[in-house]
Amino acid sequence: MGKKRTGNPGLMKLLTTKDGREVSLRPVELSDAADMLVIDRLTTEDGRGMVRSPEDLPADVDTMREELRSWTSGAFKEPWGCCFVAELGGRVVGYSEIKRPKARLVSHVAFPAIAIHPEYQGLGLGQLLMEVLIDWAPKESSIGPVRRLELYVRADNNRAIKLYEKLGFVLEAVRKDFILELDGRFVDDHIMVRFLSPSGSSADT
């Protein structure tokens, strides 16, 4: 995948998908609420790799828009977090978000997550969206840089696990029977981490 990076992770990035299409990654806007709600509903209906059910989602676009305010002007605006969307052909087809806890002694930790529209999976968007978060994490700020990235992934989500391993995440722990499916089946959950040096590269552990 070719990449044309800007020097500031807050600016729009023009990147290239596996099939050669240009996608822009930019900070979320309130006007993205409708597209993002569609992504959440479709990925939840698809079910693969998810722990949410439809009733866990925002009820409508207005509610989704209010949730997005936490990124634009609320609890998770920089330096406490950020949210980026992937736009292809004028349509938001995926997004990534990262949050830092408010407790000072663990504010060096951040929790990334991504969501991709099912019709646009397999194009490398997940990797692009995770990379923009990894680029953002070690930036100096009033609360210091992120040194530990921590994410959670279902043990049966092999595609996501392979992506996270490719990006330098390692398995730290397994939460046995953490997920209870509606059919009564239990699924384990993996905690995966990546430690960052101040430069943003993986640190020795």
**Residue 163: predicted pLDDT:** 96
29-59 pLDDT tens trace: 999 999 999 999 999 888 777 788 888 899 9
Q: How far apart are CA 92 and CA 103, in angstroms?
A: 33
Which pTM does this prediction carry? 0.86
Return the CA Rg of the chain. 17
**Range of 187's domain?**
3-195
**Residue 41: predicted pLDDT:** 93
In a domain, 164, yes or no: yes
Is the pLDDT reported for residue 7 higher than 70? no
- Banded pLDDT at 201 (limits 50, 70, 90): low
Is the pLDDT reported for residue 169 higher than 70? yes
Q: How far apart are CA 77 and CA 83, in angstroms?
A: 9
In a domain, 54, yes or no: yes
Name the DSSP class of 203.
P
- Banded pLDDT at 23 (limits 50, 70, 90): very high
Is the pLDDT reported for residue 8 higher than 70? no
Kindly state the average pLDDT of the residues 194-202: 73
Q: How far apart are CA 205 and CA 197, in angstroms?
A: 10
Q: Give the CATH number of the domain where residue 137 resides.
A: 3.40.630.30
In a domain, 90, yes or no: yes
**Domain tally for the chain?**
1
**Residue 3: predicted pLDDT:** 34
- Banded pLDDT at 140 (limits 50, 70, 90): confident
Is the pLDDT reported for residue 4 higher than 70? no
- Banded pLDDT at 11 (limits 50, 70, 90): low
Neighbours of 116 (CB within 10 A): 22
Is the pLDDT reported for residue 192 higher than 70? yes
| Both tokens assigned to 48 | 């693969």
Closest CA to 198 of 123, 131, 146, 125: 146
In a domain, 201, yes or no: no
Kindly state the average pLDDT of the residues 191-199: 86
In a domain, 202, yes or no: no
**Residue 182: predicted pLDDT:** 85
In a domain, 139, yes or no: yes
4 or 88: which leads in pLDDT: 88
Cite the beta strand spans of the chain per DSSP E.
Answer: 3-4, 13-16, 22-27, 81-88, 91-99, 109-116, 148-154, 170-180, 186-195
In a domain, 200, yes or no: no
Report the chain's mean pLDDT, rounded to a whole number. 88
Q: How far apart are CA 82 and CA 138, in angstroms?
A: 13
In a domain, 19, yes or no: yes
Edge to edge, the sheet with strand 109-116 lists 3-4, 13-16, 22-27, 81-88, 91-99, 109-116, 148-154, 186-195, 170-180
